[in-house]
């Protein structure tokens, strides 16, 4: 079985997406958040192709951020409403 894990979020503990071939015709996608399982779905080959197409389309809409000389310092951008 082939498995790939992608860390997501800005912090290492934010979560991950794990992709693995469950059977010859299904791809399993498991999503975790904060170390806890959040969702698991299985996709057919056709659904994987559609997901890939949609992700490529959405990627074009994402802003191209300039490369920053320093890495993110871990502070949240959002302030708490008091």
Domain ranges of the chain: 3-55
**How far is Cα of residue 26 from the mean position of the Cα atoms in its chain?**
19
| pLDDT, position 76 | 63
This prediction's pTM: 0.63
| pLDDT, position 46 | 95
CB-based contacts of 48, cutoff 8 Å, min separation 6: 27
| pLDDT, position 52 | 94
On average, the pLDDT of the chain sits at: 81
CA–CA dist 27, 44 (Å, integer):
6
């Amino acid at each position: 079985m082939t498995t790939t894990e992608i860390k997501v979020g800005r912090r290492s503990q934010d979560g991950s997406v794990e992709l693995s071939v469950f059977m010859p015709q299904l791809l399993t996608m498991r999503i975790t958040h904060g170390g806890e399982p959040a969702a698991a779905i299985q996709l057919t080959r056709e659904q994987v192709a559609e997901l890939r197409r949609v992700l490529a389309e959405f990627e074009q809409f994402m802003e191209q951020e300039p490369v920053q000389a320093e890495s993110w310092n871990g502070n949240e951008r959002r302030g708490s409403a008091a």
